[in-house]
Structure 1
Amino acid sequence: MWRNYLTVGLRALTKNRVYAAINIVGLALGLAACVMILLYVRYETSYDEWMPGADQAFQLQTNYKATAQGGEEMHLQVSAIAAGRALLKDYPEPVEKLVWVRGFAPIVIQDGEAGQIKNLRMTDGNLFEILKVPFVRGSAATALPDTHSIALSESEAKKRFGNRDPIGQTLTIVDNTGNVDYKVTGVFRDWPKHSSFTADAVARFDLNTQFSDRPQALTSWNTQQGWNYVRLRSPDDAAFINSRMDAWKKRNIPDEVVGGQKTNAGDVQDYRLVNVRDVHLGQAQNAPVTPGNDHRTVITFGVIALLVLGIACVNFTNLTTARASQRAREVALRKVLGASRGQLIVQFLGESILVALVAMVIALAIIELVLPAFNAFLGSDIQLHYLGSGGVLLPLVGLVVLVGVIAGLYPAFYLARFEPAKILKANKSSADAQGSGRLRNVLVVAQFAVSIGLIICTAVIYSQTAYARTMDVGYRRDGLLQVGNLGYRGVDGRDQAVTEQIRRIPGVQAAARTQIAVDPDSNSITRVYFPGGTQSVDLGDYSIEPGFFEAMGMKVLAGRGFSEAQGRDDITTPEQSDPGRAAALQALAQRGANVVITLEAARRLGFHSPQEAIGKQFQADMLPSEYGLLPVTIVGVVTDARFRSVREPLQPIIYTMRRNGFETIAVRFSGDPSAIRGQVEKIWKRNIPQVPFQARFAEDIVREQYDREAARAQIFATFAMLAVVIGCLGLFGLAAFTAERRTKEIGIRKVLGARSRDIVQLLVWQFTRPVIIANLIAWPIAWWLMRDWLNKFDTRITLGPTPFVLAGLLALVIAIGTIAAHAIKVASANPIRALRYE
């Protein structure tokens, strides 16, 4: 029996090659898209699952609440050193191990030559006892035995030592305490790409020594410079600790008196232990260890996978039911010869599964070809294994059966219900099988509704990304070069001389050092008070030097910028170790300082215009607590500058003038960018040869800020195109069959005087009407989805009718183009051929 079913199924496929090809190609594309996205979804949801003991490894995260004073809501993966120490103190039983980790790219001296390790992690304990990456030399237990030991990744060890044994070798790291020698004690495998943590090297250091020049960082709850990683004895302990966080904050976070008002950092902070497997898709994506994602995006792509596959299944159902009349006599004869309805259903379901199996083989071939490019595009390491751990063979077999049943279930019941007596009547043609075609119309509407919705989403995402990259951000992106690495000890104050030399390069219009630049990796906030008042406002606090506004291309709206001729503008104080620092701070607190604020800061402070703010005075929490608040006077108001992504709220900023403590040089230039960069690099290497040169153009930085949105738009575009192609394949098959089925009708119409144009309009209208209805369904759904997505951005495009109308017209044009060839061919045929047999 099964052999007979297989033979009949293969004959049915070979007899109708065009329709079989449309079914198989459509299903293959749908299956390929579905499997690719499901592989991506599995990859995104499997972060850190490779790690032994991942269920016991947690990250202590900090959440900032929005405040009436203007403080923004923030979700941070980092947390204060004090928070980790307090957690270990209060929960010694459930907390088995806790380490604090700091990440940066320091200068590393090897054999007398300076270089950099891109991702060096400094930790105060053995991190590998919590994050258990495999070792190729040494072991996790012995990798970091003391505070002068370092473990390298396999690729970093290969890059630095080649085929030599790195164990016992010495690397010198230049940090704020000077040049410190570290001995290589282990080599670990490169961190897998699907990890929320990554490192090229991990070094152990002593916290008290590292922060000897700024001891307040060890006790401050408002300083988050690194990550607290925790290993719990039981995964269930996390829920226990998290449920008691409010009481824990009250016990440990001390009150502070600022501006005569008692404050507590715990009022705006919440803490939570998050399992490392949940970090990648978690809420905290501000300054992550590695770029994260979010659950909604992953779920969205999973839904798209099912929709694209559903469109392919709809094609199969449509074409099979449309051509049911071609097999009506076969069904009737089988019933006459004794076949039951159940046997016929099994036969047709078997044929459907056979088509799905052939389509899956083609889909897997497509995936094997496309997967390397897909990985390169996403920067991922998605792998397709058929057997073993993570093998997909059994799920794929299940998917074949599921798709075959879903796509063939209705056609099987539809075909099996034919009545032999009606089909085999002498005057009954097999082409006159019953069926109104309503289901087919509904399914075509659903197909194009999905396609139109995806096109709209693609257009909106592209428009928002292009808007974010080109919008007026308050500074000029073009002609702006950012030179980094000023914060390293090896610079030793020579950055001022470098800046002055850069200013003399032909084509350089301005250059200035700054604590903030495009896409900063740190955030500094200060609280300001009006005299006699207790109400405070939170503002961003960054130091710059004269010429910064000119270098950034920012406009002074009222007052003036900073000037070296104005002594009160400068708030520079000696370094922490300088014996004159205390006297300088005391003098600064008594005389006060001049500041420049942004337009948004002026608005937050209650001024109705930039001019109204000039000359106004208030107090700022810019000094160590023992010196009180700093009296400041507003001397200028400048345009708002959106240094960060439009995903984040615009930060109101108060600028101060200093001569030290900078991280970046902003260079405004005209002319050949590469030539300017080359000359800047020569100056850097001539003055600071021991510190690697790092410079990037602002336009490149901004482009990278929105790479995630751009990638998402391209993925949407790809699957929107696939959905349209699959839908058009089905439409092509339906149009061909309908044209064939209505040949006699069209012949009669032409004999009665219908023109070819009338016939074309008749057929085109039959298939464009569902597309028009699909627009009415897709538009409100796409509008709701895209409105919700756009609300994540602080500044966004207006969701107007243009993408909806364009998507609808595009789908209509594609549909008309798909069926026009059939319509014209049938309309121009000689009616005598259609009516000859009558």
Structure 2
Amino acid sequence: MIRNYIKIALRNLRKNPVYSFINIFGLASGLACFILILIFVQHELSYDRFHKNSDQLYRVIQRRPDSKGADHWAATSPALASTLKKELSEVTSATSVFPTFNPLISLGDKRFTEEGILADTNFLKIFTFPFLQGDAATALESPNSIVLTASFARKIFGEQNPIGQTLTYQNQQPHIVTGIMADVPETSHLAFSYILPALSDQYYRDCITREPWYNNGLYTYVVLASGVDTHRVEEKMRAYIDRNLADWRPEDRMAFLFQPLRDIHLKSQHLKTFPFEKGGSQRYVYLFLAIGFIVLLLACANYTNIAVARSIQRAQEVGVRKVAGARRWQLMRQFLGESVIMTLLALLLALAMVHLLLPSFSQLMERPIHIDYLSNPMLLPALLTLVVLVSLISGSYPALLMSRLKPVTILKGKNTVPASRFTLQRVLTVGQYAVSIALLAGSFIIYRQMQFVQHKELGYDREHILTIKVSDANLSQRYSTIRETLLHDPHVVAMSYSLYLPTDVITSQSMSGWEGSDGKLLPTQTTGIDYDFLDVYGIPLVAGRGFSRQFGTDTLGAPIALINESVAKALGWTPKEAIGKEFNYSDGRGQRRIVGVVKDFHFNSIHQPLGLLVLTLDQGPSGYISAKIRSENLQETIAKFERVIRNVTPYPFDYQFIDDNFNKLYKNDIRLGELFTSFTLLAVLIASLGLFGLAAYSTQQRMKEIGIRKVLGASIPGIVRLLSKDYIKLVLVGFIIAVPLAWYFMNRWLENFAYRVDLDWWIFALAGIFALMIALLTVAFQSLKAAWMNPTKSLRAE
């Protein structure tokens, strides 16, 4: 019988190629979308699980008092790791690690700017990265050692044995290769090409000897004993701070929290830090998973809809089988088996689509996502489970419906199935279009918000500003000479040096000691700038003056400052009243005098409201050169910058336009918009395929009715209206359901932006009209085909 069922199923596929294609392609599209998302979700959830005892590994984060306890930082102090190991019995091991800023590795004339990390000797004992050569236990004991990843070692030495070879770090320090480790897995939140001993870094040595609790630039990881309650450990650490750091006022004391290693990748959006890697988002993972399920359910609804519509055609087959002795469970097995066959065919097509789309999807998600049937033991069982579930979801109702038919009624010629099937068809069609309209409205809103972001007045100029990352202290020291040389070029309008760009100021300091402060602290963001920063970015002053070379007191590091309007307002001053006022800053450099107030501008993304900003006259060994250049001869101007800068530093010429830095702030939102649009188009396509199949079948069943109407004088427009009005009603009901759903979820998404577009009524109306037009176009072909047909053809059979 099974062989007979398969033969009949294949025969039905060949007999109805249009419906078979619609069913298989619709299911395949839904499956392909779901599989792509499933692979992405599995990749995101697998981060940092390869380490031994990864469930006992934690990163220690701090809640900073200078932000009134509201902000959390992943960066911690150098004293923390040793203190945790010494004071808390629950901590079995601890390590400190931090990224290499301004990396440059040299071997003779060959130079490489790969990212690396600096770590203490416990790092390779806590993190179980596989070693290929050398001993992980001793590889970092010497301050002049270095451990390379396998790919970086091949990049430098080729096929030579790297152990014992000497490399130069930042053109100064020699380091001997003591170990080669396997490449860092793609699913590690720590991404690096080499490891240097922390003691080789002057910053680290300074931190552990001078005010080790105040310098926060390291990352602390610990191993906790099995079964330990992290909340109790946090309380014990808080008690230690109260006992041993009593000179800190209670409101100044930081608190330490323990973040599970497995949570770092997806649950670190609230942390302020210098990231090691491209962080993920738990919210987006769940959102994409939900969309994948929705698209898959739409495809299943599509299959059910058409299968129920085709049930009339197979009613006599069911009647004959029942007369011949077939039982109900046998008929259900037959139709469910056909559903399995359809789903298997759809799965094969879906896997082909996945392999075709995976490179583009991986590039869009910025993840090295791939599909491997052998190394991923969960993949094949998951696909088989998916086939069974989809077959049951899409085929259960048609199987149940067909098995209930009574052979006496069917064989008398009454081959219609119960009228309740029409209710199901309407419900499924309404559901499909409700989802499609909601997704369309969401796509429109995301697009509008991104356009709003791109064109919002930020308070500074973004046109034709070239930014160059400074990684070499020698380049910073010779900036004045470089500036004079390049300003002779008529295409270079102005140049400036700053510690950060205006798109992303991350350093936090607290103001205190101002007139009438009464011991209060005011958390602010800060960056060092030079004399020309305001001119390059077109930031206007509202009171006072900017930094100027014409004032002998305005020297680098001078105790003067500019504040923005928000700081003046927070301190209760007008911009004019703020001029000449003094305050202390938590950077430990004493009092500063306010010489000017700048107009508020956005120095972070517009996800956040305008913040408090202090600008100081400082130039560090690393930072950014910003140059406003003319649009003419752009490539020649950039080439000249490269020639001049390459004469000063061995570091690569690393440049971007400020617009590129600005767009990075909204990369996740832009990616969401692109994916949302793709999913929306797919959902609309699936819904349209289902509607096309239904319209075609419904029209076929009403051919005699249409023929009679034409004989009685019905016009072609009248027949088209007759066949289309039911579908218009279904789309309108879907619109009524979709509007509140879309409004709720998009309003929740827009809450992430401090500045946002309004949810105007016309956006939802436009989505509804768009869906209605697609529905009308979908059924129009079948309606016109039926209306134009000669009525004698449809009436000839009787």
Provide TM-score, normalisation by structure 2: 0.94
Residue 165 (1) aligns with residue 167 (2): no
Amino acid at match of 1:716: F
Q: Do the aligned residues in 2 keep the contact of 1:245 with 1:272 (CA within 8 Å)?
A: no
SS at 2:733 equivalent:
helix
- Deviation of 1:468 (Å): 2.2
Which residue matches 1:423? 410
- Deviation of 1:318 (Å): 0.6
Which residue matches 1:733? 693
- Deviation of 1:181 (Å): 1.6
1:788-815 deviations in whole A, cap 9, x for unaligned?
Answer: 1111123222232343222222211111
- Deviation of 1:828 (Å): 1.8
Amino acid at match of 2:579: G
SS at 1:563 equivalent:
coil
Which residue matches 2:345? 358
SS at 1:290 equivalent:
coil
Residue 455 (1) aligns with residue 419 (2): no
Which residue matches 1:205? 198
**Cα distance in 2 for residues equivalent to 1:217 and 1:812:** 70
Q: Do the aligned residues in 1 keep the contact of 2:543 with 2:579 (CA within 8 Å)?
A: no
**Cα distance in 2 for residues equivalent to 1:185 and 1:154:** 13
Q: Do the aligned residues in 1 keep the contact of 2:66 with 2:523 (CA within 8 Å)?
A: no
- Deviation of 1:662 (Å): 5.9
Q: Do the aligned residues in 1 keep the contact of 2:120 with 2:199 (CA within 8 Å)?
A: yes
Residue 749 (1) aligns with residue 712 (2): no
Which residue matches 2:397? 410
- Deviation of 1:135 (Å): 2.3
Q: Do the aligned residues in 1 keep the contact of 2:561 with 2:592 (CA within 8 Å)?
A: no
Task: Map 1:76-155 to 2 at 5 A.
Answer: 76-92=73-89, 94-111=91-108, 113=109, 115-155=111-151
- Deviation of 1:149 (Å): 0.9
Q: Pick which of 672-681 and 713-722 moved more.
A: 672-681
Residue 788 (1) aligns with residue 788 (2): no
**Cα distance in 2 for residues equivalent to 1:659 and 1:436:** 75
1:521-570 deviations in whole A, cap 9, x for unaligned?
Answer: 74132323432431332222322221110011212223321222334444
Q: Pick which of 330-339 and 244-253 moved more.
A: 244-253
Q: Find 1:530's aligned residue among 493, 514, 530.
A: 514
Q: Find 1:189's aligned residue among 182, 187, 190.
A: 182
1:306-362 deviations in whole A, cap 9, x for unaligned?
Answer: 111101110111111111111111112222222222221121111111111111111
Which residue matches 1:259? none
**Cα distance in 1 for residues equivalent to 2:331 and 2:556:** 89
Q: Find 1:503's aligned residue among 474, 487, 501.
A: 487
Q: Do the aligned residues in 2 keep the contact of 1:255 with 1:265 (CA within 8 Å)?
A: no
**Cα distance in 2 for residues equivalent to 1:446 and 1:546:** 61
Amino acid at match of 1:80: S
Which residue matches 1:174? 170
1:79-101 deviations in whole A, cap 9, x for unaligned?
Answer: 22233333222114532232333
Q: Find 2:640's aligned residue among 653, 675, 679.
A: 679
- Deviation of 1:197 (Å): 0.8
- Deviation of 1:234 (Å): 2.8
**Cα distance in 1 for residues equivalent to 2:66 and 2:509:** 13
Task: Map 1:643-658 to 2 at 5 A.
Answer: 643-658=603-618
Which residue matches 1:227? 219
Which residue matches 1:826? 786
Q: Do the aligned residues in 2 keep the contact of 1:375 with 1:382 (CA within 8 Å)?
A: yes
Amino acid at match of 2:61: Q
1:215-251 deviations in whole A, cap 9, x for unaligned?
Answer: 6765234x32121122334364645424545434434
Provide TM-score, normalisation by structure 1: 0.89
- Deviation of 1:613 (Å): 3.7
Q: Do the aligned residues in 1 keep the contact of 2:90 with 2:233 (CA within 8 Å)?
A: no
- Deviation of 1:469 (Å): 3.0
CA distance 1:106–1:245, shift in 2 (3 Å): same
**Cα distance in 2 for residues equivalent to 1:194 and 1:373:** 20
Residue 18 (1) aligns with residue 10 (2): no
Which residue matches 2:323? 336
- Deviation of 1:499 (Å): 2.5
SS at 2:470 equivalent:
coil
Amino acid at match of 1:630: Q
- Deviation of 1:213 (Å): 5.2
Residue 776 (1) aligns with residue 736 (2): yes
**Cα distance in 2 for residues equivalent to 1:659 and 1:141:** 40
SS at 1:255 equivalent:
coil
1:354-379 deviations in whole A, cap 9, x for unaligned?
Answer: 11111111111211222233223323
Q: Find 1:799's aligned residue among 759, 765, 768.
A: 759
Task: Map 1:292-441 to 2 at 5 A.
Answer: 292-387=279-374, 389-425=376-412, 428-430=413-415, 434-435=419-420, 437-441=422-426
Amino acid at match of 2:737: I
Q: Pick which of 247-256 and 376-385 moved more.
A: 247-256
Q: Pick which of 82-91 and 150-159 moved more.
A: 82-91
- Deviation of 1:717 (Å): 1.4
Task: Map 1:692-711 to 2 at 5 A.
Answer: 692-711=652-671
Identical columns (%): 33
**Cα distance in 2 for residues equivalent to 1:747 and 1:391:** 56
Amino acid at match of 2:638: R
**Cα distance in 2 for residues equivalent to 1:799 and 1:29:** 31
- Deviation of 1:707 (Å): 2.1
CA distance 1:604–1:338, shift in 2 (3 Å): same
Aligned length in residues: 794
**Cα distance in 2 for residues equivalent to 1:492 and 1:785:** 48
Aligned-residue RMSD, C-alpha: 2.5
Amino acid at match of 1:539: T
Q: Do the aligned residues in 1 keep the contact of 2:65 with 2:251 (CA within 8 Å)?
A: no
**Cα distance in 1 for residues equivalent to 2:548 and 2:470:** 25
1:807-836 deviations in whole A, cap 9, x for unaligned?
Answer: 222211111111100011111222233333
Q: Do the aligned residues in 1 keep the contact of 2:96 with 2:221 (CA within 8 Å)?
A: yes
SS at 1:437 equivalent:
helix
Task: Map 1:463-502 to 2 at 5 A.
Answer: 463-485=448-470, 488-491=472-475, 493-502=477-486
Residue 758 (1) aligns with residue 722 (2): no
Amino acid at match of 2:242: K
CA distance 1:114–1:237, shift in 2 (3 Å): farther
**Cα distance in 1 for residues equivalent to 2:434 and 2:210:** 56
CA distance 1:442–1:244, shift in 2 (3 Å): farther
Which residue matches 1:241? 233
Which residue matches 2:56? 56
Q: Do the aligned residues in 2 keep the contact of 1:120 with 1:199 (CA within 8 Å)?
A: yes
SS at 2:259 equivalent:
strand
Q: Do the aligned residues in 1 keep the contact of 2:373 with 2:379 (CA within 8 Å)?
A: yes
- Deviation of 1:264 (Å): 4.3
**Cα distance in 2 for residues equivalent to 1:819 and 1:243:** 67
Which residue matches 2:71? 74
Task: Map 1:713-732 to 2 at 5 A.
Answer: 713-732=673-692
CA distance 1:827–1:83, shift in 2 (3 Å): same
Residue 621 (1) aligns with residue 588 (2): no
Q: Pick which of 270-279 and 24-33 moved more.
A: 270-279
Task: Map 1:514-525 to 2 at 5 A.
Answer: 514-520=498-504, 522-525=506-509
- Deviation of 1:382 (Å): 2.2
Q: Do the aligned residues in 1 keep the contact of 2:230 with 2:258 (CA within 8 Å)?
A: yes
- Deviation of 1:663 (Å): 1.8
Which residue matches 2:775? 815
Q: Pick which of 728-737 and 517-526 moved more.
A: 517-526
SS at 1:509 equivalent:
strand
Amino acid at match of 2:644: I
Amino acid at match of 1:182: H
CA distance 1:388–1:622, shift in 2 (3 Å): closer
- Deviation of 1:571 (Å): 6.1
